[in-house]
Chain A
Amino acid sequence: MSDTIAADTADQTGVTPAAERQRQEASSRKASAIELRGLHKRFGRDTVALDGVDLHIQAGEFFTLLGPSGCGKTTLLRILAGLEAPDQGTLIVGGKELTEVPPHRRSVNTVFQSYALFPHLSVRENLAFGLKMRGLPAAERDAKVDEIAAFIKLGDLVDRRVDQLSGGQRQRIALARALVCEPDVLLLDEPLSALDAGLRAQLQVELQRLQKKLGMTFVFVTHDQDEAMVMSDRIAVLDGGNIQQVGAPDEVYERPANAFVARFMGHDNLFAIHRSEDDWVETEIGRLRLVPDEQRDGADGWLLVRPETLELGPEVPEGYNRMTGIVRERLYRGSRIEYRLEVNGQMVMAVASNLGQRIHREGDEVTISVCPEDLVRVAA
């Protein structure tokens, strides 16, 4: 038994045809939109977990709450689950207001970070727990548990004890235990954080496929921007109890709303803008042309230069910005080469795909070119 959600690779999510049909029928009537309005939550006197959060999550969307620890993402998830009550604000799921509804009356299920399986129960009893609490007769419970076990490819794990399972297997049981209840919304609280890197990468892809197959609304919490980008339809970046930006992965990565989002998405090349006009900026690394941005409100703080958009070489394509830099450091990473270049006294990161071109050495002077379209102004 492998440690994967669906043992098969390629585009079969390890689903038996019959189970798949049932799933699709079920999913067409599930999937609920979520509406959050003005959520505030404070812990103690000084800790503000949520500071007025408004959010709309569409039905059937894979939505990720991304942010550093203490940003409020877990609190938001717990409010969705009903495990925490907001001080102010409204929560609406599938058109029904749930703000005051206790967790056991919400058709919302959670995959906990620690999995929170019941160690005194067998895997089968764990899977049947939610159905039992809902008062489903034993025969129906068994049928549904068998169905989900086939769907998630649990196989003979069902008759084991929880303490006989590996981390990856527990993760799958926790997922199956929530899914078997066929909730309107599935909440996932950093479910992959305890797994090693390889398994994690595999499960990211499979979890995303699973969500598409089920058509269920998934709300996923993580602090890992790569994970968020791989899996999500949309991402909300949180910091200090506020939403910093909501958007598709490419929007958030390529057009970060502010310096915090830019840095959190892994961008290091942020340069202070001294002067800004419609189609050019004066920055720490020189004067650069860029594309006029109509939505720009004039409050520019930083210029974002993504390392992968910089081209190194003698030729500068027409219309490109041209800079000169000195290679100060070079990291050979196999598929790509990372350079730290000194431009105008500032350190600029550049990443080149390793396509067999000349590899610059430390101390070399190189010509850098960048397309104006790839330069982005970022609010402070």
Chain B
Amino acid sequence: MVEISQHAMRRRAVVGEMRHLLFSVTPGAAWIVIFLVLPSAYLMGVAFMTNGPYGLPQMPLTLDAFERLAGFGFLGWSPGNLYTLLRSLWQTLLSTTLVVLVAYPIAYYITTCRERWRPIMLLAVVVPSWTNQVIRTFGWMNLLAPGTPLSELAEGLGLISPNMGLYPSNFAVTLGLVYNFLPFMVLPLYAAFEKLDTAQVEAAQDLYASPMRAFWHAVFPQTLPGLLAGIVLVAIPAFGMYVIPELLGGGKGMMLGNLVATQFSGGSNWPLGAAGAILMLIATFIGLFAMRRIGKRLGGGEEVVI
């Protein structure tokens, strides 16, 4: 009797716990299922369907979209999509690197300022991103177009051929990306710099590290979590960026995001667009995985990268 009732009580407790768990997890889980899992599943489904007469997906299931994506068309193989992929990767790598190089000193500089100035300086970094991205990008078009002072300066220095202007060009795309993503790198780096343990830096100097080596061995490892977080925040959206290459590249510097977008918006080929999105997803996962490995190897920051 006693044993049975104990068993029953335990079971009741477990059921109660389960119910509690269910209540607390359900909203989040529902959100993820409705807005992430289902659309992704649909997208993946679309990628394996046939392209219909108006660009809409239809049965039967086929691998056509992936063949097209790999460059096999009616006229045999063309490297266009491969170039787009490579250009996206290169553009992402280049602009992320530049963002790091610009943001690192800025973040450090802000932490050296007086405490009451710091929020204002951070605000100055962040405020531009409150404006619509398209408007800011149009702003750059006006600044870089042929005949503007910046373009004429570049012309005068012999950096570009006459009357070409700095826009449209790959340079303009890179500049736009760096400008756009700068706050996303400055903020996590600033957070890392702000809680920097200066005693470690002094210990390194005390243990015969020159200023350069003290930076490398005592400052850099401490900022690594912020740096990796910043890279994730910059590189992933940059890889899928659509507006900036579209506007500043003038249709020449197409990136993977543009390829995907045109398949949907132009109404030309949904399955191909979906296949492109899946390719981006895979590339992103590979990138995150690589970051995790690098973070672990450098001895810090694996917690920030998924």
Contact = CB atoms under 8 A, between A and B. Distances in A.
A64 interface: no
B217 A81 contact: no
B300 interface: yes
Contact of B221 (A112, A120, A130): A120
Contact of B208 (A114, A116, A121, A133): A133
Given A109-B206, A130-B208, A133-B208, A116 B213 contact: no
Interface stretch (B61-69, B132-140, B194-202): B194-202
A116 B210 CA distance: 17
A121 B298 CA distance: 10
Nearest to B214: A104
A83 B202 contact: yes
Interface string A103-146: 11100111011101110110000000110011000000000000
A378 interface: no
Contacts of A116: 197, 199-200, 202-203
Contacts of B221: 118, 120
Contact of B203 (A82, A112, A120, A134): A112
Contact of A181 (B199, B202, B208, B217): B208
B204 interface: yes
Contact of A109 (B207, B211, B300): B207
B81 interface: no
Nearest to B220: A120
Given A129-B207, A130-B208, A181-B207, A120 B300 contact: yes
B299 interface: yes
In this complex, the member of B200, B207, B209, B210 whose beta carbon has the largest number of chain A beta carbons within 10 angstroms is: B207
A194 B202 CA distance: 19
Describe B's contact surface by its main secondary structure: helix
B118 to A, nearest CB: 19
A112 B202 CA distance: 9
Nearest to A109: B206
Contact of A83 (B200, B206, B217): B206
A134 B217 CA distance: 14
B254 interface: no
A218 to B, nearest CB: 15
B9 to A, nearest CB: 40
Most central of A109, A116, A130, A177 by chain B CB within 10 Å: A116
B218 interface: yes
A177 B204 CA distance: 11
Nearest to B201: A116
Interface centre among B199, B208, B210, B211, by most chain A C-beta atoms within 10 angstroms, is B208
Nearest to A102: B205
Contact of A114 (B199, B206, B207): B199
A169 B129 CA distance: 48
B207 A112 contact: no
Contact of B204 (A102, A105, A129): A129
A19 B61 CA distance: 76
A125 to B, nearest CB: 10
A340 to B, nearest CB: 43
A113 B203 CA distance: 11
Contacts of A113: 199
A118 B217 contact: yes
A177 B208 CA distance: 12
Contacts of B208: 104-105, 130, 133-134, 181
Interface in B263-304: 298-300
A113 to B, nearest CB: 8
Interface string A151-186: 000000000000000000000000001100100000
Nearest to A177: B207
Contact of A81 (B197, B206, B210, B224): B206
B200 A103 contact: no
Contacts of B199: 112-114, 116
Interface string A39-81: 0000000000000000000000000000000000000000001
12 contacts: A103-B202, A103-B205, A104-B207, A104-B214, A108-B206, A110-B202, A110-B206, A113-B199, A114-B199, A117-B200, A129-B209, A133-B210
The 3 closest A-B pairs by CB, nearest first: A130-B207, A116-B199, A116-B203
Given A114-B197, A120-B224, A120-B300, 4 more contacts: A82-B206, A103-B202, A104-B207, A118-B203
